[in-house]
Structure 1
């Protein structure tokens, strides 16, 4: 019976570690949300504006718990999960930011050409008052860092050590898709797209040997989705400098889930996954060839 939970090294198996760490993240988030929702005489004790908002974000706790697990439980350096000094990763930071921005802008252009969306205010008249720093933190920066550090950093490294990198990429990508299942508008297409999104970022992390390209891609993607084009981010409503109205069919636009629930994103992500998989596979082949030569 113990073998179900404990491996041959007398340690908790990777799968159980992942479930435990994720459960701890969600428990802490639930606890904070419960505390912040306390009312006295029908009046909230906490003003749910400003900085208080950020403590409702599960991604904030993803960052904290993942780093704690890496440093204190696994006894790894943060560089082991690709979390290297960003000062030395300028190229990766720029590459991720530019690619994420360009991909999302391309999605909006395609949707507009297909009459899937309409921009209601002029491109020359952005409404900057609709965006605040807390919204950018909650919907872009925290998820971009938190989900990458947890899924493409800690979880991917943990599983790679036990089942191999390729299998670990598949498992963490499935888990990444499933944990979004409670979000508004979630669908089969959303599941597939989130799986592809995770595959692409996992391949990117392995290829670049750091997490910053994936982090910046994710942040830029979410930033343009919510803070620029006012589109739902995985089921969460957002307000941006341009008001984009979804007028097309849900299977194209993603509906209330956001563009990640539509087939346009499926096509874009398939191209990204194919491109990075070819690069990943070629590196894998080179490693195998070198290993064979050494033996």
Structure 2
């Protein structure tokens, strides 16, 4: 018997207009986007009014403001969607799962990116040239780590993957969320078609399958945040094209397909291969569980 998990189903008593304009996958995504944009505008206005986003704001305060901008509107919009539209408890964000799942994700993210750096080092591409004990780690943790991990995972996995999966099934959800995640990084400094494809394949597929197997957003958030923090603050490698201020001062040599070039190690075939290996393992777990969700018209 397949072990299929669906977070939200349309109430059997819902009238037809609610089925299309409130409970359908497309309607819920549109509702989330509308709430997210409104909350983002309000948060931006508030933080500018407080002066936290000004050029003269201290780096830690500016980092806190960026964290709030990245994480809070997405989190609030998601909770409102779940509570008032889907009318269910957010099991994928249950308080009892925040700490254990988040820590497990953090450990996995640190180990995975350390493995990427280790392989690059053995291949002669990663070089440590010094140390920087005064690296600005707290703003990096708030923005590239927790801010990106919380905000991006809510949007890409909590909304896009989960809701598309409920309508079109697991395979389409995996494809759509991965393509969205790659496209979302296409405007980053140093981004190329290859870097966007690499992000979609290595991170989009991996995070999507991690959510599918665990049904836990904290696990995805922890892995995402730890990957970014390890890349930039620990190993001194640009994070998706953005400048790194790391405890280790490093350079990378060799062709861009190996080193990742100016975009960072995420655009390296090493990261691609190791993440695909992890994704394959999760696919095997899902297949053995029989957890792949068929499209709605086949359920």
The two structures have a TM-score, normalised by structure 1, of 0.79
Alignment partner, residue 217 of structure 1: 223
CA contact (8 A) 2:178 2:204 kept: yes
Q: Is the 8 A contact 1:184 1:234 kept in 2?
A: yes
**2: distance between equivalents of 1:235 and 1:107?**
17
Aligned counterpart for 1:93 among listed residues 102, 126, 130: 102
Tell me whether 161-170 or 137-146 shows the greater mean CA deviation: 161-170
Q: Contact 1:32 / 1:56 at 8 angstroms: preserved in 2? A: no
Aligned to 2:290: 284
For residue 246 of structure 2, the aligned residue among 213, 226, 240 is: 240
Pick closer, same or farther for the CA change 1:245–1:283 going to 2, 3 Å. same
Report which stretch shifted further, 263-272 or 44-53. 44-53
Go from structure 1 to structure 2 and tell me whether the alpha carbon gap of 1:120 and 1:261 turns closer, same or farther (over 3 Å shift): same
Q: 2:64 aligns with which of 41, 54, 76?
A: 54
* Residues in 1 aligned to 2:37 and 2:292: alpha-carbon distance in whole angstroms: 40
Give the whole-Å Cα distance in 2 for the aligned partners of 1:128 and 1:23: 43
Counterpart CA distance in 2 for 1:285 and 1:87 is 20
User: What is the match of residue 84 of structure 1?
Assistant: 94
Counting only pairs closer than 5 Å after superposition, residues 137-152 of structure 1 correspond to structure 2 as: 137-152=142-157
* Secondary structure of residue in 2 paired with 1:100: helix
Unaligned 5+ runs, structure 2 = 1-15, 295-299
SS in 1 for 2:127: strand
Task: State yes or no: 1:107 paired with 2:116.
Answer: yes
Figure out how many residues of one structure are paired with residues of the other and give that number: 272
Secondary structure of 2:251's aligned partner: strand
What is the TM-score with the length of structure 2 in the denominator? 0.78
Q: Which runs of 5+ in 1 are unaligned?
A: 1-5, 39-43, 289-295
Provide the secondary structure at the position in 1 that maps to 2:227: helix
Distance 1:157 1:129, change over 3 A: same
1:64 to 70, 76, 86: 76
- 1:26 and 1:260 map into 2 onto residues whose CA distance is 29
- 1:16, distance to aligned residue in structure 2 (A): 5.8
CA distance in 2, matches of 1:27, 1:254: 36
**Compared CA separation, residues 251 and 279, structure 1 to 2 (3 A):** same
C-alpha deviation, 1:86, in angstroms: 4.2
1:131–1:56 CA distance, 2 compared to 1 (3 A) = closer
CA distance in 2, matches of 1:32, 1:249: 42
Counterpart of 2:150 in 1: which secondary structure? helix
CA contact (8 A) 1:118 1:246 kept: yes
Q: Are the structure 2 counterparts of residues 183 and 34 from structure 1 closer, same or farther at C-alpha, using a change threshold of 3 Å?
A: farther
Q: Cα distance, 1:63 vs. partner?
A: 2.7
Tell me, yes or no, if the aligned pair for 2:236 and 2:246 is still in contact at 8 Å.
yes
- The match for 1:194 is 199
Shift in alpha-carbon separation, 1:206–1:36, aligned structure 2, 3 A = closer
Deviation at 1:203, TM superposition (A): 1.4
Q: In the aligned structure 1, how far is the partner of 2:242 from the partner of 2:217? A: 25
Query: How large is the RMSD of aligned CA atoms in angstroms?
Result: 3.1
Spell out, residue by residue over 1:254-275, the C-alpha distance to the aligned partner (whole angstroms, 9 max, x if none): 1121111121111111101111
Shift of 1:206: 1.8
